[in-house]
Amino acid sequence: MNYGSEIEKVLLTGKQIEIRTQELADEINRDYADKELLVVCILRGGVIFMADLFKRLTVDAEMDFLAVSSYGAGTTSSGEVKVMKDLSAPVDRKHILVIEDIIDTGITLSYIMEMLSARKPSSIKLCSLLDKPSRRKVDLFGDYVGFEIPNEFVVGYGLDYDEKFRNLPDVCVLSPSVYEKNN
Ligand code: 5GP
Ligand code: MG
């Protein structure tokens, strides 16, 4: 795919993501073989990954959605997390798998994991398409991780910059000129 000057380079192609997503689904299908799974998608960045993963699940699976406040138009974490849309049903006795686009500082996700754990699910695990371990500020790890990536701001395949670029089929590095204009 050829992109314009706003994109510096393609980091992961849609094809690479598809292959890795199937591997993750295989693992999840094995691990939850005799369990009922509640897949909790973190809106909005995780939605494309969740859909591609979800259709590859062969175990009993339901989906629900959670929206929290994110970075806004900037590219660094504010550390503030606010629930904008809560789950639509109680989670007690459910096996929760949280689906996120990227683990960066881990601040948002550790808040989400603690909040959901407090609702007493049977189990809770985390699946993230991307992981930037070099940026971690809290002790948090993904149980299922698609790709570890370097400390670069990425867009596409659900990930946005100021709500744009979510529709790109690849994960791409954004040109610094795009956010230097705004910050
Ligand atoms: P954390 O709390 O782990 O720092 O933030 C996680 C959230 O920050 C992600 O769900 C995502 O919305 C946003 N984020 C972190 N790194 C990136 C990135 O490289 N690109 C985009 N588009 N969002 C990011
Ligand atoms: Mg997000």
- Pocket test of ligand 1: the residue of 102, 113, 148, 151 to mutate, having most ligand atoms within 8 Å of its CB, is 102
pLDDT in the model for residue 80: 62
pLDDT in the model for residue 19: 98
| pLDDT, tens only, 98-138 | 999 999 999 889 999 999 999 999 999 999 999 999 999 99
C-beta 10 within 6 A of ligand 1: no
Phi, psi of 148 (to 5 degrees): -85, 135
Q: Is the pLDDT of residue 183 over 90?
A: no
Nearest CA to ligand 1 atom 4: 105
Q: Tell me the pTM.
A: 0.93
C-alpha distance from residue 146 to each of 10, 18, 79 (Å): 16, 10, 24
pLDDT in the model for residue 179: 79
Q: DSSP string covering the chain, please?
A: ----TTEEEEEE-HHHHHHHHHHHHHHHHHHTTTS-EEEEEEETTTHHHHHHHHTT--S-EEEEEEEE---TTSSS--S---EEE--SS--TT-EEEEEEEEESSSHHHHHHHHHHHTT--SEEEEEEEEE-GGG--SS---SEEEEE--S--EEBTTB-BTTBSTT-SSEEEEPHHHHHHH-
| pLDDT, tens only, 142-169 | 999 999 999 999 999 999 999 999 999 9
What is the residue whose two structure tokens read 């000129």?
A: 177
57 vs 154: CA distance, rounded Å:
27
List domains and CATH numbers for the chain.
15-152 (3.40.50.2020)
C-beta 106 within 6 A of ligand 1: yes
- Determine the distance separating the centroid of ligand 2 and the alpha carbon of 7, expressed in angstroms: 19
pLDDT in the model for residue 79: 58
| pLDDT, tens only, 70-96 | 555 455 555 567 899 999 999 999 999
